[in-house]
């Protein structure tokens, strides 16, 4: 785990809120001069604290109106099946996240689709084609009230 002090926390909060801040703007928020600020951000990237920069997009504006959480049960509980499943599902663009879970299921997938028929097609022809899956249980999100992408820093 990287050592993170209060100045780093200020930088991380600012970058999570707006990753397009200039180094000068970022330095000002953290009460640093430009060079030490740049050094800190570079170190946070090298230490793996900052994983990357991205644009947050509105799914509806791109035609995605359905959000689904799918619980997956594998046909066998083996490292080989898990590795194969994870490799296969990572290639599916509609899968936003994949988590190993405990309990009656092995994985939880967060999936987007244009509509219910396209989700059905995805399950039958893409997800269902993964050989090591024994069962899929889907929960359709009726309304997402909020999503918190920034981590509490």
Taking only the tens place, the pLDDT of each residue in 20-42 is 999 999 999 999 999 999 999 99
Give the per-residue pLDDT at 30.
97
Q: Supply the Cα-derived Rg of the chain in whole angstroms.
A: 20
For 117-132, how does the pLDDT look when each residue is reduced to its tens digit (9 = 90+)?
999 999 999 999 999 9
Give the per-residue pLDDT at 147.
86
Residues 6+ apart with CB under 8 A from 64: 112, 113, 114
Q: Distances in Å between the alpha carbon of 115 and those of 71, 76, 89, 111?
A: 19, 31, 20, 11
Phi, psi dihedral angles at 20 (to 5 degrees): -95, 5
For 7-16, how does the pLDDT look when each residue is reduced to its tens digit (9 = 90+)?
999 999 999 9
Give the per-residue pLDDT at 65.
96
Q: Is 5 exposed, middle or buried (0-12, 13-18, 19+ CB in 10 A)?
A: exposed
Alpha carbon distance 28, 39 (integer Å): 14
Edge-to-edge strands, sheet with 107-113: 95-100, 107-113, 66-74, 133-140
Decide which of 73 and 153 is more confident: 73
Where residue 5 falls among pLDDT bands split at 50, 70, 90? very high
The predicted model gives 48-71 an average pLDDT of 95
């Amino acid at each position: 785990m990287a050592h993170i002090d209060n100045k780093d926390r200020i930088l991380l909060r600012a970058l999570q809120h707006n990753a397009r801040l200039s180094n000068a703007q970022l330095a000002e928020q953290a009460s640093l001069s430009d060079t030490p600020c740049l050094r800190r951000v570079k170190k946070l990237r090298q230490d793996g604290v900052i994983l990357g920069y991205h644009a947050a997009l509105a799914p509806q504006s791109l035609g995605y109106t359905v959000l689904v959480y799918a619980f997956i049960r594998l046909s066998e509980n083996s490292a080989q099946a898990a590795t194969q499943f994870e490799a296969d599902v990572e290639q599916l663009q509609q899968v936003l996240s994949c988590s190993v879970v405990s309990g009656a299921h092995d994985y939880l997938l967060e999936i987007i689709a244009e509509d219910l028929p396209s989700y059905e097609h995805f399950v039958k022809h893409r997800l269902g084609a993964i050989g090591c899956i024994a069962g899929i249980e889907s929960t359709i999100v009726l309304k997402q009230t909020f999503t918190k992408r920034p981590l509490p820093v």
